[in-house]
Structure formats: structure tokens, C-alpha cells
Amino acid sequence: MRYLVRNVSSLSGSIRVPGDKSISHRSIMLGAIADGVTRVEGFLEGEDALSTMNAFRALGVTIEGPDQGRVSVHGVGREGLKTPAIPLDCGNSGTSMRLMAGLLAGQNLRATMTGDESLSGRPMRRVTDPLALMGANISSAEGGRPPLNILPVPSLKAIDYTLPMASAQVKSAVLLAGLYADGVTTVTEPAPTRDHTERMLKGFGVEVQVDGPRVSIAGGQRLTACNIDVPADISSAAFFLVAASIAEQADITVRHVGINPTRTGIIDILKLMGANLELLNPREVGGEPVADIRVRSAQLKGIDIPEHLVPLAIDEFPVLFIAAANALGRTTLTGAEELRVKESDRIAVMADGMKLCGINAQPTPDGMVIEGLGHLSGSRYSGATVESHGDHRIAMSFTVAALRASSEMNVLNAKNVATSFPNFVELAKHIPGSVFITWTVVPFTA
């Protein structure tokens, strides 16, 4: 599948993007091991979250839905998961594999977790190493990559673990394993990361202690089913926040967006760049802060991105690179080496595609330096045929880049957009008063 994208001069309207992927994953995982029925509204019906759902069905959990975002998870209790008859296919979802590794490590079952070609190349030792310290029996393929094989162990032991690098997935995996460990498990993170796991555990009645960068959980606790309202995903909203910022004329409101303070790096960075962005109607839904976000066109300026914001925007950097390409002056990113081990090497892939468009983008080991054109000056880069390498965020980012291109942007290998944003094209095409995607679906050949 490829996208053929043409620029337009204006964007306006009010939209709601799909539910938060991180919260959707966790609603299934925690609902599965809770006592009672967990009812979810706003569930993201993308392929990644559906991979998690199907994995827990294979583990013996009855799940009704999804039906227009509604899901009912019939929990089997903390020890009720069953040995699956088939490998657990995580598809393209690193979140599924890493968090499930922690959750299954203390279960009395055997399981194998697999993934697609992209996921099979991603490192898992950052999760399996701390779980091994807890006594888990997990083996992997060469280089610590999937598939992961989990064997039963008599019990897990609590650890006090300091993350080598900030990672919400690793933190969550260790905390979930901590539910099955003897004693109190503590994770210390070097920089703040998303805290959806801690918030949702509390919603299920689990005591979680947070003391600055240290998060602790006592083993042996049971979860009680609850109702979950999933807010719109700020990582999906990010594409429209940048699109509105760089368009010649734009006024877009993205409704009901989760603004968890561990996820708002995209907002903070865009504001530092001079974005015309405001939060409207702030409120709290199910323990998560939510607001409507209004964005209007503005001349962005290049900045040195503060390193403390990097973990808070790690998934949004591909589209932030497009914002930087349209800013006035130089933007520098450092401390983002994790981008090299996502669904693709996002530093290298974005730099390669931007260079094809004539953008001055210089990759570094842990980031990038981009010389922006200053889009309100009338400057444009050229359109190009760019390879997304099957990475959904790369494909959507170059779709947004087409707004400021002088000719069509041809984005190859865009099928995996469905993993996180299944209605991206339709939503972009039907913003009231604007159409910026003319898309074509064709078989992809190298």
C-alpha cells in the first residue's frame, strides 16, 4: 500500500482521533487478570491493540467486542491464565510483547511470543534481563530478539531495579512481574516516562507507591474489575497538531485528547517552537487528564530540544522532524537513541526521506540536526518518493510533510498505519473544508 499525497493551503474543522493505544493495551491486560468484568469505552481498534486482545483470548480470557470502541473483558483472576495452544502473535506491537513478558513471567504456564518481521528484529533484552533477575525463565532468539519463550517458575523474587535508559515499556514489564513476586518490587527511572500502568493499576485497586523517580509495588495483590473510558491518543493527535501548525491557513480542534503529563512532550516542544496551541475544556476521565486541543497556523522556529522532554515525546519525533523542517532556523535533537530501535531506525529513515525532499537533515547517533525552511516565507521543499519501511509513524509523518511540498509526495509501504491509526486517511480527507490526502492503494514492490 502507498499514499499519494498532494498539498493544500488550508485546514479547518474539529476532529476526534482514535483511542489511546497505550491505555487500550493495558485495559485488556489488566482486565484479563482482574476479578470481574472490565468494561472499556473508546478502545482503539487498531492492529496493535487487537494483537493484545487476541493474545489474551488465546490465554483463555473471554473478551466481547470490540464494537464501536466498546469491549468487555471477563477477568480470570491473577492466576487464571491458561497455557496457550498456539504461539502468541504480537504482530507489530512491541508494547504487547514487552508488557506481556512481564505479566506472563510469574504465571504457571508455558508460552511463546512471536511477531512480524519488524518486531522480530527489535531488541528484547532490556525486558528479559531484569525479568531474569527476578527469577523468570525466558529465552529468546540470537541477539535477544523474538521469539520469546516463557517457562513456568516456582515464584519470582522482588528486585530494586534502576532502568539503564528511560522506558515506560520496561518499567511496566517489571511492575507487572512484581505483582507475582515475593516482596516489594521497585523501579527507578532516569527520566519521567508515561505512567499509564501505574494509574491503571490504581484504578483496579492495586496499591502503587510513587516517590519521585521510584515506583514500588507489593506482590500478591489482586485486581478488581472497573470501567475504563479511553481518551483520544495524543500520539495520533500529534500528526494533526503539526499539520495545522505548518499549513498556510489552519484552525483545527482535536477533541477529548489524553494530556497525561508523561505524554505531553509534543505539546511542550511545539510551544517552545512557537506553535499557536491552546488547551480547552480540561477535565479528568477515569483518572486520566483530558482536554480539547486547538491549533492554528504559526511560524515555527528552530530550537534545541530540551533532553528532559525527549522521553515524553519519544513516539512523536518523526512528525516533529517535519515540524522542524518547516521551522525558521536550526532544530537540534539529542538524547533520543531509543528512536533507532523502534519499528524502524526512525532517525535514519526520517533523515533519508527528508534528504530526498531536499531538506537539510543530518542524523547523529542519538538524534538529528535539521535546518528549517521557515514555511511562512513561502519556501517549500520538493515532493519525493519516500520509503516508510513499514513504520506507521514514518508513513503518517511524510503524509503531513506533503502539506508544504512543491509536488506530490509518494509514501511507500504504508500498510502498517492500521496498527495505530486505522482511519487516518479517511479522517484526514474529511476534515470539514479541507482535503489533504489523495490516496492510492497499490501492491507494494521493492
Helix axes 196-203, 168-178, angle to 10 degrees: 30
Write down the CATH superfamily of domain 21-229. Answer: Enolpyruvate transferase domain (3.65.10.10)
pLDDT tens column, 149-201: 999 998 999 999 999 988 999 999 999 999 999 999 999 999 989 899 999 99
Q: Matching CATH topology for 3-13+260-274+299-429 and 21-229?
A: yes
pTM here is 0.82
**DSSP-H helix ranges across 221-314:** 234-246, 265-272
Q: Would you call 160 a catalytic residue per the annotation?
A: no
Write down the CATH superfamily of domain 3-13+260-274+299-429. Answer: Enolpyruvate transferase domain (3.65.10.10)
Helix axes 234-246, 265-272, angle to 10 degrees: 20
Q: What's the confidence (pLDDT) of residue 269?
A: 98
Q: What's the confidence (pLDDT) of residue 172?
A: 98
**pLDDT tops 70 at residue 444:** no
Q: CA–CA separation, 329 vs 325, rounded Å? A: 9
Q: Map out the domains of the chain as residue ranges.
A: 3-13+260-274+299-429, 21-229
The 8-class DSSP code of residue 88 comes to: E
Q: Which residues sit opposite 403 in a β-bridge?
A: none
Report the 10 Å Cβ neighbour count for 162.
12
**pLDDT tops 50 at residue 441:** no
- Choose, from 48, 116, 195, 315, the residue flagged as catalytic: 315
**pLDDT tops 90 at residue 347:** yes
pLDDT band at 416 (very low <50, low <70, confident <90, very high): confident
**pLDDT tops 50 at residue 439:** no
**pLDDT tops 80 at residue 236:** yes
Q: What's the confidence (pLDDT) of residue 376?
A: 60
